[in-house]
Structure 1
Amino acid sequence: MGKLALVAKITHVPSIVLSEIDEGPRKGTRQDAIDGLKAIGQRCRDMGVDTFIVFDTHWLVNASYHINCAKHWQGNYTSNELPHFISNMPYAIPGNPELGKLLAKVANEWKVDTLAHDGTTLAPEYGTLVPMRYMNPDQHFKAVSVSALCMAHYLNDSARLGWALRRAIEDEYDGTVAILASGSLSHRFAQNGLAPEYAFKLWSPFLETMDHEVVRMWQSGEWKAFCEMLPEYAVKGHGEGFMHDTAMMLGALGWSEYDGHGEVITPYFGASGTGQINIVFPVTPVTGKAIPQPQASSAQGFQAVSRL
C-alpha cells in the first residue's frame, strides 16, 4: 500500500538558523548543513514523498510515546534553551492527522503505548521546526512530529515503535513517507562560558573519535555490532534525547537485520561541543524478526540511558 521512501539522521542545531540571519562573523558558517537539509528535501520531492515523520529529540515526554499530528502549525518560535540563536522564527507547516492517528493505532497494536494528538494547540519543538525551515519552506510536504526525548522509556521499545510505524506506512497508508531522526551524535555541550571557543568543535577527543567510528560503522553497514553497542554509546556519548531517535530510526529500517549503508550528505561537524551530521539510509526489505521485543514493566523501568 504505502511506501517508506527514505530515512535520514539529520541535524537541527540552532546555529544553522543563526548562520542564516546573522550579519556578523557567524554568517554562512553552517551553509553546508543547510545545503544538506535542502538536498535531502529535494530527494524526497523527487521520490514523491507527501509527509515527513520527524523523531524530535527536543520533545520531552515522561510517559507514553506521543505523535503531534495537528492539521496545521503556524506561529513564531523562540528557543527557550538558546534564545540568542533562534528568536521569533516564523513557521508554517501542514500536518497529517490521518497518518498520525494511523501510526498510533498500529504502534499500540504492536504493544507500544502511543497517543496521537490531532486536536491540539501544542506546537512542534525546534527539532522539527529547524529542518522544516530548509526542507519544506513552501509547505510542499505535510509533517507529523514524534516525541523522541524519552525520559522513562526503553530503547528496545523505541526501536519497536519505529518498526510499527513502518508497518503502518507500508501496510495501511495510501501515500509515500520519509522518516527523519532529528538529533545529534554525541551531545556534550561546551561548559558554560566556553561556548564561543567550541562553536565549531567537539567537547573532547574521545567523543569525536567515538562519533567517527559510529559514522564508519553506518557507512560500512555494521548494524548488528552497532545495535548491540547503542545503549552504551547513548550513555558514554551523551546521546541527544538518549538516542531514542536513533533507535526509532533503526527500528524502522529493520534493526540489526538492516543491510543498507549510510550515505553522508553533510560531513560530520562540531557545533558547541556536539557532533552533527546529515546522513541518508536507503530503505531495504526486512522481515522484522530482529525487532526488539517490548520490555516488561518493572520497578526498574528507567533504562541506563535515562539516568544521565
Structure 2
Amino acid sequence: MGQLALAAKVTHVPSMYLSELPGDRHGTRQDAIDGHLEISRRCRALGVDTIVVFDTHWLVNANYHLNCAPQWAGTYTSNELPHFISNMEYGFSGNPELGRLLAKTCSEQGVETLAHDATTLAPEYGTLVPMRYMNADKHFKVISVSALCTSHYLNDSARLGWAMREAVEKHYDGKVAFLASGSLSHRFAQNGLAPEFAFKIWSPLLEKMDDEVVRMWKSGDWSDFCAMLPEYATKGHGEGFMHDTAMLLGSLGWSAYDGRADIVTPYFAASGTGQINAVFPVTPQDGQAVPQPEASRAGSYRAFPRI
C-alpha cells in the first residue's frame, strides 16, 4: 500500500520571505531556504506525491481539522506580521481523497478529526512559507493540518500522527511526507526589541534548552524527549504548544522511535525564537508506544494557553 516516505521538523519564519526582497534583510535566511529546497529534493527522490503539513499557525478550539481543498490560489498577507509577509502569492493543489481518508482513520481511532474539502478556508503561513520553497512548481499535492490546538492533549496529537501514518500505509496508494511546521523555543522578542533580536534567542536558558533538545534528537534519546515534551512545550513557550512535534513523533512511533535526526539547516535564531530544519528517518514501528486514549485523559498535560 502507501508509504510515509519522509518526516521532518521545519521552520516557517516569515523573515525567509523578507530574505528574497531587496533591503537590509536580503539573503539573510538563505540557509533556511536552502534547507527547504533540500527537503523538497529528498521528497522528489523518494517519489512523494503529497505533503501533509502540521501547521502551528492554524488555530482551532475543538477537534482536529484538515484543509484538503482541491486547489488553493491567492495573495497572502500575514495578520500577525504584515510588515514581514505582505502580498505573497501562492498556489498549489490539495488532495481531498487522502484528506478524507486521514480524517476517517483518525476518528475511527478515537481522535475526532474533520476533513474540509469543500471550503473557502485558506492555508496559514505555517503551510504557505514551506510550500513556497518546496513546491514552487506545484509538484506536490498539499494537505494542511491544524496544529495550534488550544484545548487538546499532546497525547491525542501523538495518536493523531500515528493514525495518519496507518491511514497512509494501509489504505493509500502513494507516498507521503509529514512536516511539523513550527519552532523549538518560541518566546518572541518583547515589543520594541524585535530588531535587536532578529538573529538572537530571547534568553540563554531557552537557548540551552533548545541545544539539549537538538542533542537528544541527534543521539536518538526519544524516550527522554517524549517524557519531557509537555514541560518543554510549556517552559519553552512552544509554538502551537508543540502539537506539531507531538504529531510528528507520534507518526514515527513516539518513545519507541529509533531513528536519529539529520540536521539539514542548523539551529538558528529568529526574532527571539529557536528554529531548525531537520529530517527524521522513517523506521518500521508497531505503534505500541503511542499513548492510548485513556492515558491521554487521565494523566497527561493539557496544552493550556499562555497568559
2:126 counterpart of 1:103: no
Identity of aligned residues (%): 73
Answer yes or no: is 1:17 the counterpart of 2:17: yes
1:153 and 1:301 in contact (8 A); partners too:
no
Alpha-carbon distance between aligned partners in 1 of 2:19 and 2:51, rounded to the nearest angstrom: 24
Structure 2, unmatched stretches of 5+, are none
How many residues align? The count is: 306
Correspondence 1:41 to 2:40: yes
SS at match of 1:289: coil
CA RMSD of aligned residues (A): 1.4
1:235, distance to aligned residue in structure 2 (A):
0.3
The 5 A counterparts of 1:227-238 are 227-238=226-237
Look up the SS of the partner of 2:304 in the other structure: helix
TM-score (normalizing by structure 1): 0.97
Residue 153 of structure 1 is matched in structure 2 by: 152
- Determine if contact 2:77/2:86 at 8 Å carries over to the other structure: yes
Deviation string, structure 1 residues 43-90 (Cα, Å, up to 9, x no partner): 100100000000000000000000000000000000000000000100
Query: Does the Cα contact within 8 Å between 1:68 and 1:124 map onto a contact in 2?
Result: yes
Matches within 5 A, 1:1-308: 1-21=1-21, 23-295=22-294, 303-308=301-306
- 2:41 counterpart letter in structure 1: Q
Question: 1:143-201: CA deviations, max 9, x gaps?
Answer: 00000000000000000000000000000000000000000000000000000000001
Does structure 1 conserve the Cα–Cα contact (< 8 Å) formed by 2:197 and 2:272? Answer: yes
Q: Residue 94 of structure 2 contacts residue 142 of structure 2 at CA under 8 Å; is this kept in 1?
A: yes
Change (3 A) 1:3 1:63: same
- Paired with 2:302 and 2:194, the residues of 1 have a C-alpha distance of 28
Distance 1:296 1:221, change over 3 A: closer
Please give the alpha-carbon distance, in whole angstroms, between the structure 2 residues aligned to 1:296 and 1:280: 29
Q: Distance in 1 between matches of 2:259 and 2:229?
A: 17
**TM-score when normalising by structure 2:** 0.98
Matching residue's letter, 2:52: I
- Could you say if the C-alpha distance between residues 301 and 293 of structure 1 is closer, same or farther in structure 2, counting changes exceeding 3 Å? closer
d(CA) in 2 for partners of 1:56, 1:304? 19
Taking a change above 3 Å as real, the CA distance of residues 266 and 284 of structure 1, as seen in their structure-2 partners, is same
User: Are the equivalent residues in 2 in contact too, given 1:266–1:278 (CA < 8 A)?
Assistant: yes
1:255 and 1:266 map into 2 onto residues whose CA distance is: 23
> Partner amino acid for 1:305?
A
Contact 2:19-2:27 within 8 A present in 1 as well: yes
Closer, same or farther: CA 254–187 of 1 in aligned 2, 3 Å = same
Per-residue CA deviation, residues 92-127 of structure 1 (Å, 9 max, x unaligned), is 010000000000000011100100000000000000
**Structure 1 residue ranges, 4+ long, deviating more than 4 angstroms after superposition:** 295-298, 300-304
Deviation at 1:305, TM superposition (A): 2.7
CA distance in 1, matches of 2:72, 2:215: 37
2-side partners of 1:297 and 1:261: how far apart?
A: 26
5+ long unaligned stretches in structure 1: none
> Letter of the aligned partner of 1:135 in structure 2?
M
Give 1:301 deviation, angstroms.
11
